[in-house]
Amino acid sequence: MMRRLNFAIACMLLSVGVFTACVKKDFDAPADQTNIDPMLKVTHTIAQLKAMNGVYNPNTGGDTTVIGQDVVISGIVTANDRSGNFYKQLVIQDSSSAIMMLIDANNLYADYPVGRKIYVKCRNLWLGYDGGNPVLGYVPNEQLGLTSIPQQRVGDFIVKANIGNPVVADTVDLATVSSAQDKYYNRLLYIREAQFDDTTKSYTQPTSTTNRNIKDCAGKTLVVRTSNYSNFASLMLPKGKGAIMGIYTVYISSKATPQLVIRDTSDVRFNGTRCGAVSGNILFGENFEGYSKGTTNIGGWINFAEVGNKQYAIDSFGATKYAKISANASGQAIVRSWLITPGITLTGATNPTLTFKTINGYDNGATLKVYISTNYSGSGNPTTATWTQVPATISTGNTTGYASTWTPSGNVNLNAFSGKVYVAFVYDGADPSTGTKLTTTYELDDVYVVAN
C-alpha cells in the first residue's frame, strides 16, 4: 500500500537543490572489491519505480510517496561522492531511467564505485523530489523534504553486486537538452560538442555552489553546476571546445532549469578549437569584450550619427559583449548611424576575408549593411568618402523577439580592395511620431579580417 504526502509551496522554497554544503573527508577509504552478483529478483525497472510517484509541481512542492510493497530495482552506479561534487548521494541507472539516492554516509565511493551493480529493496523508502529532481530516500523531515537513508540502515535496503560493469552514457547534442527533458533526469549524458561560455573563471566561487554555462556553436546553452567542496572547485575552466559528460539534473521554480553535474574534470574534454575561432593571419579583430556596458566610445572605431543622434553602444547578454544599435525610442524620423573600424592594411595580404556575426530583434524593416572604403580619412564625417557595399549575411526576420543564435556573415572576400581599408556597418531606421517605424535592433560581434 502507498501513502502520498503532497508538499506545500514551502518545499520549493526550502529545497537546497542538488547539493548540500558540507566538507568531504580528505582521505581515501579502501575500496570494496566484492565481485559477486547475488542475482536478486528484480520486480521493477527504475522507470516503473519513478512512475509510482506524482508529477512534481513547483506550486505545491510536488509529491512524495512511500513504497509500501516489495519493490526491488537494480542499477549501475554512475556517480558517487569521490570528487566531492556529489555529497551523500549515489546515482544509479538501468536501461529505462535513472535516480539519485540520498544516503547519510561519507566515502560512498569506496563501497559503491562507478560501475558497481546494486540492488535496492525499496519497501519503506520514499520517492520524492529535490527542487524538482527525482530522488529516492528516507522519511520526510519537518521541512517536508526527504531525509537520507541512515548509515546503519543502508544494508537493509542496498545489496552490493559485482563491480566493473560498463557505464553507458546517452549521447546527445547540447541543443537536445538545453531545455529540460525529464526522460534524461539523473542519467549520465555525453554531450558531443560544447565549450564554456566564459573561460576567465574557475569552476566555482570560493564559498558557494556555482553555475557556469556551456554552449554549442549555435549558441544553445546549459548550466554546469559545481559544488565549492569539490576537489576541483578552484581550477580554471578549460578554454577549448569538445565533449563533456555528467549527470543531467533539473531545478524547477517558475520554470525548469536543466543542469549538468560533472563527476570530476576527466568528464570535461575541451581540447579542440573553440567555436568561432579565427584561423589564418589576423589583420584585424574585435570581440568588444574589453569595453564597459553602455559605452559608445569603442577604441579606434568611428561611431558616427549621420542623421539623428543614435550611436552604437556596448551591451551584453550573459558573458558575451557586443555592439548594439536601434532607432527604438529615439523619436527621430530618420536614423542613419555608422560604426567604422580602424584602418586595416591589406598590402601584401593573400585572400583577405571579412567575417562577423549578428543577431536582430523585433524586426520591422530597419536595415544593417556593410561597406568598404579605401579613401576614408579615418576620422570625421564618412559621407565625403567613397563606399562600396559588400555582400554579407545579416540576421533578419525575428519580429517578436530576438534570434536565439548568432547569424554568421559568411566569408566576405576583400580581394577587390588594396592598401588601407575601412569597414563600415551602417544602420538605417526611423522612429517618427506618426507613420512607419523602422526600429529593428541589431547586435554585432566578432568582427575579423584575416588573410592566408
pLDDT, residue 406, reads: 87
DSSP state letter for 392: -
Strand 158-160 and strand 170-172: the pairing is: unpaired
For 91, phi and psi rounded to 5 degrees? -120, 130
**Cα torsion angle, 380, 385, 389, 392, sign:** negative
Which residues share a beta bridge with 137? 126
Q: What is the mean pLDDT of residues 149-177?
A: 96
Nearest to 75 by CA among 51, 103, 100, 111: 100
Separation of CA 128 from chain center: 26
Percent of the chain whose pLDDT exceeds 70: 91
In this prediction, residue 28 has a pLDDT band, given cuts at 50, 70 and 90, of low
pLDDT, residue 394, reads: 98
In this prediction, residue 289 has a pLDDT band, given cuts at 50, 70 and 90, of confident
pLDDT, residue 27, reads: 44
In this prediction, residue 6 has a pLDDT band, given cuts at 50, 70 and 90, of very low
Gap between the terminal Cα atoms of the chain: 73
For 41-81, the pLDDT digits (tens) are: 999 999 999 999 988 866 655 688 999 999 999 999 999 99
Task: Read off the amino acid at residue 199.
Answer: T
In this prediction, residue 21 has a pLDDT band, given cuts at 50, 70 and 90, of very low
Which residues share a beta bridge with 136? 101, 127
Of residues 112 and 404, the one with the higher pLDDT is 112
Asked which of 150-154, 319-323, 357-361 is least confident by mean pLDDT, the reply is 319-323
Q: In this structure, what C-alpha cell is assigned to residue 224?
A: 554546469
For 383-397, the pLDDT digits (tens) are: 999 999 999 999 999
For 181-237, the pLDDT digits (tens) are: 999 999 999 999 999 988 889 999 999 999 999 998 878 899 999 999 999 999 999
Report the mean per-residue pLDDT for the chain. Answer: 91
Q: What is the mean pLDDT of residues 279-298?
A: 92
**CATH topology for the 170-272 domain:** OB fold (Dihydrolipoamide Acetyltransferase, E2P) (2.40.50)
Indicate whether 148 pLDDT > 60: yes
pLDDT, residue 63, reads: 82
Nearest to 144 by CA among 12, 289, 251, 31: 12
Q: What is the mean pLDDT of residues 124-139?
A: 95
DSSP state letter for 163: S
In this prediction, residue 121 has a pLDDT band, given cuts at 50, 70 and 90, of very high
Domain ranges, ordered by start, for the chain: 4-160, 170-272, 281-451
Indicate whether 405 pLDDT > 90: no
Q: What is the mean pLDDT of residues 278-288?
A: 89
Asked which of 244-248, 360-364, 405-409 is least confident by mean pLDDT, the reply is 405-409
Cβ atoms within 10 Å, residue 452? 10
pLDDT, residue 61, reads: 56
Which residues share a beta bridge with 221? 215
Indicate whether 414 pLDDT > 90: yes
**CATH topology for the 281-451 domain:** Jelly Rolls (2.60.120)
pLDDT, residue 35, reads: 87
pLDDT, residue 8, reads: 37
Whole-angstrom distance, CA of residue 129 vs CA of residue 135: 5
